[in-house]
Amino acid sequence: MGAHATAPTPPSPSVPAWAPSGEPGTPGGESPSSSTSLPQGGQPGGPAGGPVAPDGEPDGTVTAQAVMVTPELPKFRTYAYGKAAAQRVDAYWRDAGPRATPRPAVLILHGGYWMGGDKGAGWKYFARRLTEQGFVVLSANYRLAPKAQWPAQRDDSLSALAFIKRHARLWNVDPRRVGVIGSSAGGHLATQLGAFGTGGQQVRGVIALSPPNDPLLAFKDGALPGASARQAKLRQAVTALVDCVPGSVADVAGLAGDCLARLDDASTVTHASAGDAPMLLMHGTGDFVPVAQSTGLASALRAAGVQATVRTVKGDLHAAQMLEDDQTFPMIVSWLKNHLKPQGQ
C-alpha cells in the first residue's frame, strides 16, 4: 500500500543549507501529491531527494543563504496520518542494527501564516542534518486557513504526533522521547503542543522560531501606525485562522460567534500550566514577529514552574532565517540532546 521516493541524482558537493520556500524541486523526490498511507507490514524505505534552491518570502517558510556540504541521505517516506490531503508527514531516518537503542524523534511544523507553506519545501536538508545527529525526523503538513479554521491546525498537529508515537517502531523511535520544532506559524503550533492539555506528557521539549504565540497581539500590531506589510499580512492571517474579525460590528453584536474566545484558545499563554514541556523560544532582534510574542509566554511558563528560555539572534531575521547564524543549529542540537535524552541521564 505504501510507495516511497525514487533514488535522486547525486547532489552537488555543496548546496544551500536552508531553503524553506518555493516548490520542493527535488530530483526524483516525492511530492505531497504522491504520499501514501502507512503500509501494512514491512519496513518503510527510500531516500529523499536533493535540496531546494533559495527563494521565497520570509513568512516562516523563508530561505536562508548559508551553504553547507550535503549530508549522506537518510531513508525517506511520506505517510498519511489522516484522510485529508494535507494530513501527511514525511519521515527521515537512518538504519539501525537489530539491537540498536530506540532513538529520539523530532516533529517539524512548517510556517506560512497558517495559510501556506509545506512540510518538504526547504526542510529536507535541515531534517537530514538532524538525522546525522542521531534523531529521527518527521515533518508534517496540516490543514490550512481559511478553508480550515482554528483549532484544525492544532488538531492536525496532535494527530501527527499521535501517529508518530503509534508507529514508532517503524523508524526505531522511542515514543517517550519526542520533541517538536516549529517555524513562525508552525512555531505557534509547536508551543501549543507543549502547553495544550497534557503538555509535557505529549512532547519532551519545544523549539519555536519566531512563534506568534498570541494571535490577538499580532492582530493589534498589524493595525499600528508604521506596521510593516508582513505585520499587516499576519493581521489578516489571524482573521482567516479564527474566521472572525475581533472588535468588528458583527463580533460586538455576537453575530460572528465568540471571536475572543477562539483567540483566547489560540493563545498559548492561556494554556500555560505546571507540567508543560520546556521551551526554547527564538526571535531575530528585528523580527516582524517581535520577541514580545514569546516573553509573555515564557513568564507564564516560569510562573508555573516550567523551564522556558528566550533567545534573540541579531538582525532582521525571521523563523528559518535565524539558521543563517552559525550558532543557531548547534544550539538547537545541544538543546534537543539535553531534553530528549533517556530518563535518568
For the segment 220-265, what is each residue's pLDDT rounded down to a tens digit? 999 999 999 999 999 999 999 999 998 765 554 454 568 989 999 9
Listed by start position, the domains of the chain span: 14-214+267-339
Sign of CA dihedral 222, 223, 225, 229: positive
Confidence tier at 98 by pLDDT (50, 70, 90): confident
Confidence tier at 23 by pLDDT (50, 70, 90): very low
Distance CA 161, CA 89 (A): 10
Distance CA 263, CA 251 (A): 12
14-214+267-339 CATH, one of 3.40.50.300, 3.10.100.10, 3.30.300.280, 3.40.50.1820: 3.40.50.1820
How much is the pTM? 0.81
Position 194 pLDDT exceeds 80: yes
Distance CA 27, CA 80 (A): 22
What is the average pLDDT value for the chain, to the nearest integer? Answer: 83
Task: Show the DSSP H helices in 196-269 as ranges.
Answer: 215-221, 229-242, 249-252, 259-266
All residues at 6 or more sequence positions from 258 whose CB lies less than 8 Å from its CB, including other chains: none
